[in-house]
Amino acid sequence: MADQSMERRRSVRINVSIAVEVRDGRGFSLHSSRDISEGGLYFDRAIPHPVGEHVQLVFTLPGDDRPFNLEGEVVNVPDTHSFGMGIRFVSLRPNDRERIRKFTEEQETK
């Protein structure tokens, strides 16, 4: 758990609304992200999945036409009676991590 916290602090997190398809064993839903980093995404208006659940994420970064198709794990549900969830990317390929890192750094300097 401490390693995840350190990763969060080292990664640039930017506010950005990205349409994300979230798939689980029951089907799929579309959500809009609140922010993104190399480590994952946060949705503030999503009906949360249970912490620990693994989901498939499909999204495209603004200005990039190559879609990401990643596995994620729900790691944060701030209020189970409300909306919102944090998802950590699982098994992120190095080239995908680099694309997200470059995007977040470019957005941070704007």
CA distance 56 to 54: 7
CATH architecture of 2-108: Beta Barrel (2.40)
Average pLDDT over the chain reads 88
Taking the domains of the chain in order of start, what are their residue ranges? 2-108
| pLDDT grade for 10, boundaries at 50, 70 and 90 | low
Q: What is the pLDDT of residue 45?
A: 86
| pLDDT grade for 83, boundaries at 50, 70 and 90 | confident
Does the pLDDT value for residue 1 go beyond 60?
Answer: no
Tokens of 106: 């470019």
The pTM for the full model equals 0.84
Question: Bridge-partner residues for 20, per DSSP?
Answer: 31, 59
Q: Which residue has the higher pLDDT, 110 or 92?
A: 92
pLDDT one-digit tens code per residue, 33-65: 999 999 999 999 888 899 999 999 999 999 999
